[in-house]
Structure 1
Amino acid sequence: MEPGFLDHAALNLAAAGRILFRIEQTFRYDYAAPVTDLAQRLVIVPRRRHGELRRRGHTLQVRGAAHARRTRADAGGNTVVRVRAARVESAVEFRLTADLERRAADGPPVLPAAALRDPRLLRPTRLTAADEALRELAAGLPADDLADRISAAVHAAVAYTRGVTGVRTTAAEALRGGRGVCQDHAHVMLALCRLRGLPARYVSGHLLGEGGTHAWVEVLEARGDHAVAVAHDPCHGRRAGAGHLTVAVGRDYADVAPTSGTFTGPPGGRLTGTRRVGVVAVG
């Protein structure tokens, strides 16, 4: 249990009507020599509203350089912060604190029915392009409870292993190697969903009890005259639950990478980070 947080393992979060969470996260870049023209893109501030999850407040501090920033919602409703600094002497740090509230009565994210036909959620990307092995796996899955079956198949096919894949690893490469981390599980599931015609999107966020950021998948389902996003966590082979905190959604990791950017100066730079996520109240 993190200091200042409740012991979430001792709580029945699935039965709670209201949960308050706090996210404390930092990203720090250290450079061997001064750099100029820093342009950083941050997708770390949670969405203002995502189904039953609401952002109640947040602060984002930038330390280490005089800077300008711009915060906007992108086309998918994600909060994107762009930071520019003319010069960074040795290091720049981004420090986020965000408070979230989950209201179970609000239910999953609701989208227009047209989202079920959105080509961005149906077409493969570079990271989710299919090869013969993915096509064979997709073709062999029964049609009933298809999204759940895909999640279970990915969980069985890709063992959770750190250090063997990277942010450029494709779904085909992860499946071929049989090892990867949560973003690889998400990419393989997205590839299979798109092969079977299920509209689906990548989710970047946090999972209580895990040390780093997490990734999972939302599959869109028709409900009357609209669509809902049902969250699946193929890394764990189950539906996502009350401990999954969404930050952003996109076609794949590349759309919602937590931090990315450019600068002018000697190549390199070391990225380190810290993260604390926990429950502060339950009602």
Structure 2
Amino acid sequence: MDLDGAARIGYRVEQSFRYAYDAPVTSLAQRLVVVPRRRHGDLYRRSHTLRVLGAEHVRRSRVDAAGNTVVRVAAARVEQAVEFRLTATLDRVVGDGPPRLPAAALHDPRVLRPTGLTAAGEAIQELASRCATPGIGNEEIAERICALTHAALTYEYGVTCVSTTAEQALTGGRGVCQDSAHVMLALCRFLGIPARYVSGHLIGQGGTHAWVEVLVPSRGEAAALAFDPCHGRRAGNGYLTVAIGRDYADVAPTSGTYVGTPGGTLTGTREVSVIDLV
């Protein structure tokens, strides 16, 4: 399929997360950031359902300050397992992107200040010294950062975790898409380039994906340009945005707490398909 040559694309996302427990648990409180944004540039959410199976529960949904849909689920008791199943349909109208923001977004501390996961240590600062060149703009610098990050990290699953910092990942030289995104964010923010973390889906990849949006001036506004440092390229029409934040911690797909015996098991499935192509 020639996704990058299409004018309009329809997608279907089916995703599930299942927590199984060795014994009944109580006071389950789950936070889910899995529902795609209502609109993100040229990408529109047309419909979605989110089912909770395995426990009597209450839920509430809100849109946070960044425009992400956050769903909170509470269950007094789970006997064996609880499962969250998302189905969503989205449309991409190619001429409607990229996302545009007020010019003030270029100076927003949330996209400029480092976080605990994106602070610049010696390794980040050394790599940053190879990125900036006088006389070139932030978009060109971002291209260079994306390429250098891709070259600096070898993809390897299981050597990092959700609390691994950009500095640790870069020093180790290995990691997953989340680590590549954090390294690129750390470099951008150290160099004063506004950037934000993106969570979502990449068609053809098994799990959820992460990449970066860099904010650049554009006709009196700010435009959010998407880069995938894990693959060393711009993000195209095979990428579906779910949420944006300062780093992974803001937009973790699923997180929560419960009271009970430790040792629950999390399994997940995900399928993204193209249902319309023009």
TM-score by length of 2: 0.97
Q: Give the Å deviation of 1:266.
A: 1.0
Across the aligned residues of Structure 1 and Structure 2, the Cα RMSD in angstroms comes to 0.6
Paired residues for 1:216-255 under 5 Å: 216-255=211-250
Distance 2:192 2:32 in 1: 31
Q: Deviations over 1:69-119 (max 9, x none)?
A: 101100100000000001000100000000000000101001010000000
Give 3-state SS (helix, strand or coil) of 1:236's partner.
coil
What's 2:115 paired with? Answer: 125
- Report the Cα distance in structure 2 between the residues aligned to 1:275 and 1:133, rounded to whole angstroms: 35
Partner of 1:34: 24
Q: In structure 2, what is the equivalent of residue 7 of structure 1?
A: none
Report percent identity of matched pairs. Answer: 68
User: What amino acid is aligned across from residue 63 of structure 1 in structure 2?
Assistant: L
Q: 2 CA distance for matches of 1:137 and 1:18?
A: 39
In the alignment, is residue 259 of structure 1 matched against residue 254 of structure 2? yes
**Offset at 1:278?**
1.2
* From 139, 143, 150, the counterpart of 1:155: 150
Distance 1:57 1:116 in 2: 31
Equivalent residue number for residue 271 of structure 1:
266
Local SS of the residue matching 1:230: strand
In the other structure, the counterpart of 1:170 is: 165
Q: Distance in 2 between matches of 1:41 and 1:115?
A: 27
**Which residue is equivalent to 1:6?**
none
Amino acid at match of 1:270: T
Residue pairs, 1:164-203, within 5 angstroms: 164-203=159-198
**Is 2:10 the partner of 1:15?**
no
Look up the match of 2:60.
Answer: 70
Choose the corresponding residue for 1:92, options 69, 72, 82: 82
Letter in 1 for 2:214: V
Cα distance per residue 1:155-174 (max 9 Å; x no partner): 00001111101101000000
Query: Shift of residue 133 of structure 1?
Result: 1.2
Amino acid at match of 2:106: L
Unaligned runs of 5+ in 1: 1-10
Secondary structure of the residue that 1:174 maps to in structure 2? Answer: helix
* Distance (whole Å) between structure 1 residues aligned to residue 45 and residue 247 of structure 2: 23
For the residue of structure 2 that corresponds to 1:127, the secondary structure is: coil
Moved more, 185-194 or 263-272: 263-272
- The code of the aligned residue for 1:19 comes to I
Q: Give distance in 2, aligned partners of 1:277 and 1:271.
A: 20
Equivalent pairs, count? 273
How big is the shift at 1:225? 1.3
**1: CA distance, partners of 2:219 / 2:9:** 29
Task: Specify the SS of the correspondent of 1:242.
Answer: coil
Q: Hey, what's the Cα distance between the residues in 2 that align with 1:141 and 1:95?
A: 42
- Paired with 1:205 and 1:149, the residues of 2 have a C-alpha distance of 23
Given candidates 18, 43, 48, the residue that maps to 2:33 is 43
Q: Paired residue for 1:4?
A: none
Runs of 4 or more, structure 1, over 3 Å off, are none
Tell me the amino acid that sits aligned with residue 249 of structure 1.
I
